[in-house]
Structure 1
Amino acid sequence: MSDHNADDVRNIALIGHAGAGKTSLAEALLAATGAIPATTTAERGPAVCDQDPREQALGHSIDAAIVGFTIETRRVNLIDTPGLPDLLGRSLAVLPAVETAALVINAQAGIEPMTARLMKMLDGRGLCRMIIVNQIDAPDLDLGALTEQVRDAFGPACLPINLPTGGGEQVADCFFAPGEITTDFSSLTEAHEQIVDQVVELDEALMETYLEQGQTLAPEQLHDPFEAALRDTHLIPICFVSARTGAGIPELLEVIARLMPNPAEGNPPAFLKGEGERAEPVAVSPDPGRHAIAHVFKVLNDPYRGRLGIFRIHQGRITPTSALFVGDARKPFKVTHLYRLQGRELIEVEDGVPGDILAVSRVDEVHLDAVLHDSHDEDHFHLARTDYPIPLHGLAITPSRRGDEQKLTEALHKLQDEDPCFKVDHHAATNETVIRGLGAFHLKLLIERLADQFHVEVDTRPPRIPYRETITTPAEGHYRHKKQTGGAGQFGEVYLRIEPTPRGTGFRFVDAVVGGAIPGNFIPSIEKGVRQVLDEGVIAGYPLQDIQVTVYDGKSHSVDSKEIAFVTAARKAFVAAVEQARPAILEPIVHIRISAQEQAMGDLAGDLAGRRGRISGSETRSQGRVVIEGEVPLAELEGYESRLKAITGGEGVYSIEFSHYEPVGAAIQRQLVEAHHQEDRT
């Protein structure tokens, strides 16, 4: 039996900008609770969370690491996430496994680009939040000003729950038992009153007691409204620590153990049955006595341990004797071995309760976002989809050695299974395999893994930009397909109309045939023919989007009408309609965020303008840095990384995320169409 229950579990993800000190903070918490030796990093060796040699060489985490420790009776699962923009998908993937997201801020650097981006991306995810200001022992800090910067950026719900003293050498509690000592920028009494005022606003009865009794509310009285305030993001506690010296670590542990939500106190996970507008919420309870339900939030393909599925239990109990189904599968797999993770170490356990984060190995059916369950009363549903950044940075790849094509395909599938922001596309028109990620560094890491783990070397080159085609006016198309070969013939006739839809809506197919002019069993064949053209494009070989196709008439033959006849007729009719609908080519526009020294701003703005970019705003940050935001066509960013480093002397960094598609200019469209026709001729 487990040595803890669901009420004792705390699940927390450490997120934040690279260099904020998330990994060193995790190590400090592990050391303070005896989970690892309380020695220096040099004596202990590589960090538990950064065991990969590439992480050690880089000095940054490149994947999420799960570790755990016990404080009092609490079992704390801590997930240390990478902070580099290119690895954002790996950080977002773990959020469904936790109740609390802890945003770690470097006290010297303040609110950096990824810090602000991550806080914004937490909106709508139902997670409780806390902010941990790390490295408070650094020289020349103004932590009061930083606190105000945090509140200006993220709202008045951000309030200190403890305060630094002695220039960051110690931290004083201002919630459980505030004293009268002087802190670096605020009194404990004032900070305590602010926290209590914020918490009691959500409990009318407690507020009435508070107003009558003044400052006499005990922490126990505040616990439930405190949890309610966390759930509603009505309160975001700020904790101050130094992972290097240990200042604030005991106070942070007390906040985690006594105030952070357990699985029953956090917002319930958003499980859904069905898709789209028809999806219905499914109630899942952290009750160990009910059917087991778990969510796979991370998959690893280990050369020695096989496929490792890491999951969070949301309901029920899982043991090594459990038989679990993966999603809608009819055949279960036997768990056999159940593991808890401590970095790369797997520790075998006898069972898991709601809230536990565990793993199974050598189960090929397990995949990212899979729902594991032990009863088909619970199948046909899924956790609400995580919104990931769209991977736009691409490389066309080919194996360096002939004969490695199959090995490359299998390796790419495994990497794609692990990383939600890594995509592999094969373009039949150019016979080009394109890998896409969130940036050059993201793809560099994956190519290194291809060589190191899968022993596949690849050659790379810039890929085609993922342009799209669309139409700008309504039009109609008609085609009669009639073929007689001596035996049974083929016949199908289709009338359809097309019209543009708002940008980003994709494709809609409408069946408006009346009177049985086309039998209903042939309508799917018509849609199939239309979708074939959607994928292939009409004028330049790029997929079509933002278009509605309505089939409204046609003819059939009682003997000669077949599926292939209506597929062909639909293709021809659709192409004819598109050619009459003033087709246009769309290009991807990305939102770009550049961080650099302030003196480089003029050169950066001029360079972006030369790339058809538009600056939407800029903001001066601490340490003489400026953040520039704007939009630029993806096609104009080839070679931008080296150009940015040249302008900023290697100091500049940037990140991009997909914004929208918009039409290219007439000259560019002519070039793309002519290039496509040239390819067809050759």
Structure 2
Amino acid sequence: MGATSHQAGAAGRALTADRPSSVRNVVLVGHSGAGKTTLVEALALTAGAVNRAGRVEDGGTVSDYDEIEHRRQRSVQLSLVPVEWAGIKINILDTPGYADFVGELRAGLRAADAALFVVSAADGIDGATRMVWEECEAVGMPRAIVVTHVEAARSDYSETAAACGEAFGAEDPDAVVPLYLPLYGARGPDGHAPVTGLIGLLSRRVYDYSSGERAERDPDPAELALIDGARSRLIEGIIAESEDESLMDRYLGGEDIDVKTLIDDLERAVARGTFHPVLMAAPAADGARQGLGTVELLELITGGFPTPEERAPVTVTAPDGSPRPAVTCDPAGPLLAEVVKTSSDPYVGRVSLVRVFSGTLRPEETVHVSGHGLADRGHEDHDVDERVGALTSPFGKQQRTLGTCIAGDLACVAKLTRAETGDTLSAKDSPLLMEPWAMPDPLLPLAIEAHSKADDDKLSQGLARLVAEDPTMRLEQNPHTHQLVLWSLGEAHQDVALERLRTRYGVQVDPVPHKVSLRETFGAKATGRGRHVKQSGGHGQFAICEIEVEPLPPGSGIEFVDKVVGGAVPRQFIPSVEKGVRAQAARGIAAGYPLVDVRIILRDGKAHSVDSSDAAFQTAGALALREAAADTPIHLLEPVAELDVQVPDAYVGPVMSDLAGRRGRVVGTEQAGAGRTRVRAEIPEIEIGRYAVELRSVSHGTGRFSRAYARHEPMPPHLADKVREQAEKGNQLT
């Protein structure tokens, strides 16, 4: 923004902050492949945190250093890269761009005070990025846009900047405006002219990066003409956000507003979240010390993004829910911190990335850990005291020791064995609890089994550690199908989870077909006679019972009625008949699924004074129920879910067509905000096992949904026949 640059090397030492005003926390947001990680490394190079090869001392990169990320060539987790510029510590939070890892993105948004949206000039803006912009807009988070891949042959910065204005400036088009124009070099044989520098619209200066170092000069006449053509819109946008109401009148009256005044107003508007400048950046060429636009971007972050002190006070309660005063960013205030990420190190153990909102966190002190509880995902409420281990600042694979971590800063904390992602750290004598941030529900199931007996012994502990790290993952022991099910956000999320189980925790699992909880019921009244008579020397077995079965309304379960007269079945054996009937009902009578919604009436029977027993009447009861089912239509009942789908208006038609093809019944539609529609439907659960993946395809990544069990209802006969055929072969429908 200004005409000068500041550089401060930080290689080889931990960056510390002595006051909140010297900290900036910024999260990078953008789709996979937009260039976020490359941008982080370019900023680290310009700030002097890495060498010219973009490496830290151990030879690794500052981001995407996880082995899984190396193999996949994709970010799969939140990473923190601290750098220093002009005496300001900048905590850069690099987030995955793939939708499966949106939980990591939400953690980054929670920890940051401003967001930098990374848009590729070669690929444009995807729907998921627009959705995140709207989320940030709803809470007033300050935002700026940086256009990457401007060096690509097919890129067009001007078109991309205009697209950013259309996509992100719906409420106020003049609030999303470029700060710089590209400076083009000579055209090559292919006709492509590379971007070699920036033309500052406010400063009326040219910043030439063609030598690998930022060089500043006056514009030539042609460049000056470009500046004058674009500068007016930028100034008008800044003045519209100015707190000085006289500024617009002065500008329209022909006064040349001082550049410092404009920059000050610009930075205040950016910090308030009402103005969103567009910049550009590119990585440094081989051997170069600075990447294109990185100096300008660092200047914007340090000068325009808010300090932690400018963040609104944090609402807190006591762990029991009783209210407590809101907490401000004060290093001398009560301790309040939050675990935004949990990971495991094979040598150090559990490591927690923590954002401190108030107070000062010190190593070796005892803190209170309050868990908000996500019981449905395997995270129970907990309130315990724990001793903090070492505080460190991450940089690539390295961990640099910190003496303290003050309010507004981030640090890694070792040895918090009970703390999980989303937990609150506070003073042990004054425990506090922060409201958890919104996390998407994991809606893609994966049934798993231990690969071997050795894996089975370690499975429980490995899975517990896995879900402790990732609150977007849910572990379920299904009581109906008896399967162990890992619920995730998508296929890549599943794959990474299984890889972490194997590589970090030494647990190998095998995916198995996921089963749904089908049920069986009688389609009409029926009778059955169970006769269990055996004689083989000594005491024999003798029990006969006659039952009548009649269907009941859905949700009735199983009702057992005793209508025996004259003592045909002795009173002591009537519970035995009921026990045998219920055991057979649980095992199923047609395809191996539990029997429900019937009334079973015991009408008659016979007993022997010596040979009748509890076991004999249990067996007779089971036989009677099976005989009743033999000549009666048995309906298979499938679970039906209530589905709530939210998509942009443009995708309502494709979504409804897709639901119809899955035997879904649309029960209503309604507006769900500007340009979005909520579609409510009822659909068999068998049809939506992979809906988390398939909706993403239908809606181009812009749809989301929730599901809830509604009821069981009869399955169509042709599908029921298929289930019975599979049951006869020893399989169950998945």
Give the TM-score taking structure 1 as reference length: 0.69
Are 1:295 and 1:313, in contact at CA under 8 Å, matched by a contact in 2? Answer: yes
Are 1:4 and 1:73, in contact at CA under 8 Å, matched by a contact in 2? Answer: no
Are 2:24 and 2:306, in contact at CA under 8 Å, matched by a contact in 1? Answer: yes
Deviation at 1:387, TM superposition (A): 1.7
Residues 380 and 313 from structure 1, CA distance in 2 versus in 1: closer, same or farther, beyond 3 angstroms? closer
Counterpart amino acid of 1:197? E
**Does 1:381 find its partner at 2:433?**
yes
**Does 1:173 find its partner at 2:200?**
yes
Report the equivalent of 1:115: 129
- 1:147 & 1:102 partners in 2: Cα distance? 15
Map 1:24-103; keep pairs closer than 5 Å: 24-39=38-53, 46-103=60-117
Map 1:516-595; keep pairs closer than 5 Å: 586-587=640-641, 589=643, 591=645
- 1:672 & 1:262 partners in 2: Cα distance? 62
Are 1:338 and 1:348, in contact at CA under 8 Å, matched by a contact in 2? Answer: yes
Report the equivalent of 2:501: 450
Counterpart amino acid of 2:79? A
- 1:253 & 1:631 partners in 2: Cα distance? 46
Deviation at 1:124, TM superposition (A): 3.2
Counterpart amino acid of 1:381? L
Report the equivalent of 1:268: 312
**Does 1:230 find its partner at 2:270?**
yes
Map 1:332-411; keep pairs closer than 5 Å: 332-374=385-427, 376-377=429-430, 379-382=431-434, 384-402=435-453, 404-411=455-462
**Does 1:289 find its partner at 2:332?**
yes
Report the equivalent of 2:177: 159
**Does 1:241 find its partner at 2:286?**
no
Are 1:26 and 1:80, in contact at CA under 8 Å, matched by a contact in 2? Answer: yes
Deviation at 1:348, TM superposition (A): 0.3
Residues 280 and 174 from structure 1, CA distance in 2 versus in 1: closer, same or farther, beyond 3 angstroms? farther
Deviation at 1:26, TM superposition (A): 0.4
Deviations 1:326-384 (A, max 9, x none): 1388764333421111133110011122221101111212221122122534x2431x3
Task: Return the index of the structure with the highest Cα Rg.
Answer: 2
- 1:643 & 1:294 partners in 2: Cα distance? 38
Deviation at 1:140, TM superposition (A): 3.1
SS of residue in 1 equivalent to 2:150? coil
- 1:98 & 1:138 partners in 2: Cα distance? 30
Deviation at 1:429, TM superposition (A): 2.0
SS of residue in 1 equivalent to 2:103? helix
Report the equivalent of 2:467: 416
Residues 376 and 347 from structure 1, CA distance in 2 versus in 1: closer, same or farther, beyond 3 angstroms? same
Deviation at 1:168, TM superposition (A): 2.3
**Does 1:461 find its partner at 2:512?**
yes
Counterpart amino acid of 1:319? R
Are 2:455 and 2:509, in contact at CA under 8 Å, matched by a contact in 1? Answer: no
- 2:496 & 2:222 partners in 1: Cα distance? 45
Deviation at 1:184, TM superposition (A): 9.4
Report the equivalent of 2:296: 251
Report the equivalent of 2:622: none
> Which consecutive unaligned segments of at least 5 residues does structure 2 have?
1-14, 185-193, 207-218, 286-290, 372-381, 520-552, 560-592, 596-636, 670-677
Are 1:210 and 1:217, in contact at CA under 8 Å, matched by a contact in 2? Answer: no
Q: Could you tell which deviates more after superposition, 664-673 or 329-338?
A: 664-673
Residues 303 and 143 from structure 1, CA distance in 2 versus in 1: closer, same or farther, beyond 3 angstroms? same
SS of residue in 2 equivalent to 1:386? coil
Deviation at 1:254, TM superposition (A): 1.3
Deviations 1:251-288 (A, max 9, x none): 111111211111123x3254332799x88684222221
Report the equivalent of 1:194: 233
2:35 to 9, 13, 21: 21
- 2:720 & 2:313 partners in 1: Cα distance? 46
Report the equivalent of 1:505: none
Counterpart amino acid of 2:444? H
Deviation at 1:448, TM superposition (A): 1.2
SS of residue in 2 equivalent to 1:414? helix
Residues 186 and 21 from structure 1, CA distance in 2 versus in 1: closer, same or farther, beyond 3 angstroms? farther
Counterpart amino acid of 1:409? S
- 1:17 & 1:413 partners in 2: Cα distance? 30
Are 2:168 and 2:176, in contact at CA under 8 Å, matched by a contact in 1? Answer: yes
Are 2:365 and 2:387, in contact at CA under 8 Å, matched by a contact in 1? Answer: yes
SS of residue in 1 equivalent to 2:51? coil
Deviations 1:474-510 (A, max 9, x none): 9999x9xxxxxxxxxxxxxxxxxxxxxxxxxxxxxxx
Deviation at 1:183, TM superposition (A): 9.1
Residues 459 and 81 from structure 1, CA distance in 2 versus in 1: closer, same or farther, beyond 3 angstroms? same
Deviation at 1:186, TM superposition (A): 9.3
Are 1:65 and 1:79, in contact at CA under 8 Å, matched by a contact in 2? Answer: yes
Residues 337 and 41 from structure 1, CA distance in 2 versus in 1: closer, same or farther, beyond 3 angstroms? closer
SS of residue in 2 equivalent to 1:93? helix
Residues 294 and 191 from structure 1, CA distance in 2 versus in 1: closer, same or farther, beyond 3 angstroms? farther
Give the TM-score taking structure 2 as reference length: 0.65
Q: Could you tell which deviates more after superposition, 663-672 or 238-247?
A: 663-672
Deviations 1:388-412 (A, max 9, x none): 2211111111111125334111111
Are 1:181 and 1:187, in contact at CA under 8 Å, matched by a contact in 2? Answer: no
Are 2:17 and 2:23, in contact at CA under 8 Å, matched by a contact in 1? Answer: no
> Which consecutive unaligned segments of at least 5 residues does structure 1 have?
480-539, 543-582, 595-601, 618-628
Deviation at 1:182, TM superposition (A): 7.9
